[in-house]
């Protein structure tokens, strides 16, 4: 909120003052950025310290930060090598997982958004479909894996199917909520000026619910990234989840922990990237 207001006032500044203003605000920005960087640094230092102490206490069963970071460096310095099906670079594994998430999430969103609009917009469909959604939503998406296998016959497609299912619920629920909560003030504009169904959808319903839809999509993407790791542990063959499981089978915990770090970073980047896109299309009331 504060950032938005800042943006508005800065655009309203007369040009004569703008240089001073931007210089001052640049200094402010740098200050707050360096402060938050410092806090982040402290947090990670504490984590590394704790990790080092624990691995020192338990001996060889948990690799320490130094050994792990060395492995991590090896993994990232040559991410795209390919020595056959059981030995691929971590970049290739990550790429494969991202592709599956992207496909499953896109397909899921294509189904979830219209479904959410229908549920939120028509009381009859809400009454009919809400119980179904409520029942299926708490089910772990991994429980759908066998169904995916039975239908698609391949583990890769089954994993995408699991991601598809995962991506449905947050988007359906948030879209339905957004569509269902269009204020009377906005609806009445459409009625008073005889908006066609299509115009109402495009000019009232979608713009109003867009922030809710985006929240749903963001949650869906987050959960999809959580689930892909577990999904690929089941499906095997390819992907960062498989990489984790494969490394465990090789009793290489340095690789497992490195993968955890990489999965975390990738998830964070996905979320931030999505937020940047979302901010562009969101209206401010």
Partner 1 sequence: MKTKPISPVMSSRYLELRDLTISFSTPRGRYTAVKDVNLMIARGEIVSLIGHSGCGKSTILNAIGGLVQPTQGEVILGGVKIDAPGPDRGIVFQHYSLLPWLTVYQNIFEAVDSVMNDKTKAEKVELVERFLQMVGLSEHRDKKPRQISGGMKQRVAIARAFAINPEVLLLDEPFGALDALTKTSLQEELINLWGLENQTKTVVLVTHDIEEAILLSDKIVVMTNGPEATIGEVIEVPLPRPRNKRDLVRMPGYAEIHERLLYLLMDAFAVQKKLAA
- Chain residues that interact with partner 1, rule: CB under 8 A: 8, 185-186, 188-189, 191-196, 199, 203-204, 207-208, 283-285
Name the residue nearer to partner 1 (CB basis): 12 or 135. Answer: 12
Minimum gap (Å) between residue 277 Cβ and partner 1: 17
Q: How far is the CB of 104 from partner 1 (least distance, A)?
A: 30
Q: How far is the CB of 284 from partner 1 (least distance, A)?
A: 6
With respect to partner 1, which residue has the nearer C-beta, 19 or 199? 199
Residue among 137 and 199 whose Cβ is closer to partner 1 = 199
Give the alpha-carbon dihedral of 137, 138, 143, 149, to 10 degrees: 10
Tell me how far, at minimum, the Cβ of 199 lies from partner 1, in Å.
Answer: 6
Residue 116's contacts (CB-CB under 8 Å, 6 or more residues apart) are: 171, 172, 173, 174, 175, 176, 178, 179, 213, 216
b/e code 218-245 from CB counts within 10 Å (16+ = b): bbbbbbbbebbbbbbbbbeebbbbbbbb
Give the nearer residue to partner 1 in terms of CB position, either 14 or 85. Answer: 14
Cβ atoms < 10 Å from Cβ of 259: 25
Alpha carbon 213 to its chain centroid, in Å, reads 14
Measured between alpha carbons, how far is 117 from 132 in angstroms, rounded to an integer? 16
Cβ distance to partner 1 smaller for residue 153 or 197: 197
The structure tokens listed for 35 are: 């402060």
Q: Whole-number minimum distance, CB 115 to partner 1, in Å? A: 23
Specify which residues 82 forms β-bridges with: 88
Task: Give the residue with the Cβ less far from partner 1, 155 or 182.
Answer: 182
Per the CB < 8 A criterion, the answer to whether 142 and 162 are in contact is yes
Least CB distance from residue 123 to partner 1, whole Å?
A: 16
């Amino acid at each position: 909120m504060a950032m938005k207001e800042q943006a508005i006032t800065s655009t309203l500044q007369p040009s004569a003052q703008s240089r001073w203003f931007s210089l001052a605000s640049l200094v402010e920005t740098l200050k707050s950025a360096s402060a938050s960087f410092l806090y982040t640094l402290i947090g990670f230092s504490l984590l590394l310290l704790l990790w080092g102490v624990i691995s020192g206490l338990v001996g060889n069963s948990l690799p320490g930060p130094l050994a792990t970071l060395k492995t991590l460096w090896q993994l990232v310095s040559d991410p795209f090598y390919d020595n056959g099906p059981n030995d691929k670079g971590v970049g290739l594994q990550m790429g494969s997982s991202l592709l599956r998430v992207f496909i499953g999430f896109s397909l899921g969103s294509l189904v979830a958004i219209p479904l959410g609009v229908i549920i939120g917009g028509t009381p009859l469909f809400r009454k009919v479909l809400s119980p179904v959604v409520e029942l299926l939503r708490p089910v772990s998406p991994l429980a759908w894996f066998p169904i995916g296998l039975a239908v698609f016959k391949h583990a890769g497609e089954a994993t995408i199917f699991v991601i598809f299912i995962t991506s449905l619920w947050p988007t359906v629920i948030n879209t339905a909520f957004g569509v269902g909560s269009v204020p009377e003030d906005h609806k009445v504009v459409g009625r008073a000026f005889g908006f066609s169904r299509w115009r109402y959808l495009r000019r009232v319903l979608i713009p109003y619910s867009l922030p809710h839809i985006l929240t749903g999509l963001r949650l869906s993407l987050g959960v999809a990234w959580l689930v892909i790791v577990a999904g690929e542990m089941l499906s095997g063959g390819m992907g960062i989840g498989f990489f984790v499981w494969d490394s465990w089978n090789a009793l290489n915990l340095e690789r497992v922990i490195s993968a955890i770090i990489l999965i975390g970073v990738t998830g964070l980047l996905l979320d931030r990237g999505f937020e940047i896109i979302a901010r562009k299309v969101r209206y401010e009331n």
